[in-house]
């Protein structure tokens, strides 16, 4: 856990969230300000600040995040209609929380990626 990291606090249960899934490596919870009818965040339990600070030792973890997001999309009935996985990285992306996270959005027609 990294002090003053919002998502570390959510993982630890110090800040409430609507938990969707948890295992020893990742946790998923509802985005507090959803941009689509389905908007879930999948985060590593152990703090990683950015994709750019991840390394080869995190390859399996990052793949696991994608598969967990896919399973959640399936559970929510948007796997066949379609969904999007997004990782924001750095200022130009609008990344607001410096704890690696994967957005799963779906449940409506998603526009082109800006
Ligand atoms: P990003 O812009 O990629 O850093 O995304 C951060 C996401 O975290 C945004 O979609 C926010 O709505 C979401 N968020 C911020 N605070 C919370 C919170 N307390 N619980 C759940 N989601 C949050
Ligand atoms: Zn963190």
Read off the tokens for 6. 């919002």
Domain range annotation of the chain: 6-106
Model confidence at 114, pLDDT cuts 50, 70, 90, reads confident
pLDDT confidence bin for 62, thresholds 50/70/90? very high
Ligand 1 geometric centre to CA of 33 (Å): 7
pTM over 0.75: yes
pLDDT-derived band at 1 (thresholds 50, 70, 90) equals confident
Whole-number Å distance between alpha carbons of 22 and 60: 16
| Sequence-distant (≥ 6) Cβ neighbours of residue 2 within 8 angstroms | 8, 47, 49, 99
Quick one: CA torsion of 5, 2, 42, 111, rounded to 10 degrees? 40
Residue whose CB lies within 8 A of the most ligand 1 atoms, among 32, 89, 90, 92, for a mutation test:
32
Name the CATH code of domain 6-106 (choices 3.40.140.10, 3.30.300.30, 3.30.428.10, 3.30.1330.20).
Answer: 3.30.428.10
Mean pLDDT of all residues in 3-28: 97
Other C-beta atoms lying within 10 Å of the C-beta of residue 16? 10
Percent residues over pLDDT 70 in the chain: 100
């Amino acid at each position: 856990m990294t002090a003053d990291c919002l998502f570390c606090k959510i993982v630890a249960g110090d800040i409430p969230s609507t938990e969707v899934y948890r295992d020893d490596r990742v946790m998923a919870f509802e985005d507090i300000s959803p941009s689509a009818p389905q908007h879930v965040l999948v985060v590593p339990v152990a703090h990683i600040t950015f994709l750019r600070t991840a390394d080869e030792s995190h390859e399996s973890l990052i793949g696991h995040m994608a598969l967990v997001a896919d399973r959640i999309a399936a559970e929510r009935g948007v796997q066949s209609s379609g969904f999007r996985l997004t990782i924001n990285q750095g200022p130009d992306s609008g990344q607001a929380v410096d704890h690696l996270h994967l957005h799963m959005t779906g449940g409506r027609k998603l526009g082109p990626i800006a």
